[in-house]
Amino acid sequence: MTFWLSFVFVIGFILIHIFSKNMRFLKEVPRSRFLSVAGGISVAYVFLHLLPDLGRYQETLQEELESGFWSFLESHIYVIAMIGLVLFYGLEKMAVSSRLSKHRAPKKAEEDEESPAGVFWVHIGSFTLYNAIIGYLLIREEYTREWGMVFFFVAMGVHFITNDRGLRATHKEDYDKYGRWLLTTAILIGWLIGVLTEVNELVISVLVALLAGGIILNVLKEELPEERESSFTAFCLGLFGYSILLLLL
């Protein structure tokens, strides 16, 4: 049952990446309320599910690293989550800055520029790993409730819609031509790895920490810029509504 349900959700993730460009209601300014709700849902899942999981993974890391160079750190896994946030922030700044500096032009013209090819591949490469982790966790995550996989799919599904919107705005045609297909393939590969084998828990703990940091950053970078005219009410609705579901079901 778990296998087939995860397979259905993998197909769902793939369809989201393929058809998100056709979601015309996802206007950029003022920001679609759906995207703000999606951001709230993703943050709720991180704080109520992924971060508590990091506490369990922390025990694994302590056992592996207690006698090593990093033993002076008391919260290894949270440091890794912080590194994940910083890593995705740096990649985002690199992509946006390189796109805007490619041609010195008026602001509107700059916004129409694609990022340089090298920056595009580095940026998409990081999200390819990101998606592969999500695909793996879909089948290998230890869900505490029957609805656990459904909640994971909903939270990551709406997060993918938000990410697609941001990546398409940054990389233009390159994203539709190459990027979305790489991200789609990464989900499937990550899921297949989860079906065929179980990765060492130490590796997974590091990947989940990086993922948690990345999700927080990717949500905040889409919600916080004032020019996006995001809806704080819609964000809170998604955050608190999904939190209640996670806590009650």
Q: What is the mean pLDDT of residues 100-115?
A: 52
Q: Where are the alpha helices (DSSP H) in 20-75?
A: 33-45, 51-65
Res. 111 pLDDT band, cuts 50 70 90: very low
What pLDDT, on a 0 to 100 scale, did the predictor assign at position 71? Answer: 55
Choose from 68-77, 164-173, 182-191, 199-208 the range with maximum mean pLDDT: 182-191
> Of 53-62, 94-103, 168-177, which gets the smallest average pLDDT?
94-103
Within a 13 Å sphere around the CA of 217, how many CA atoms are in the beta-carbon half?
21
* pLDDT greater than 80 at residue 102: no
| Cα gap 161→21, rounded to integer Å | 9
Output the six-digit token pair for 192.
Answer: 């297949």
Share of the chain above pLDDT 90, in %: 32
Q: What is the mean pLDDT of residues 11-29?
A: 82
Q: pTM for the full model?
A: 0.83
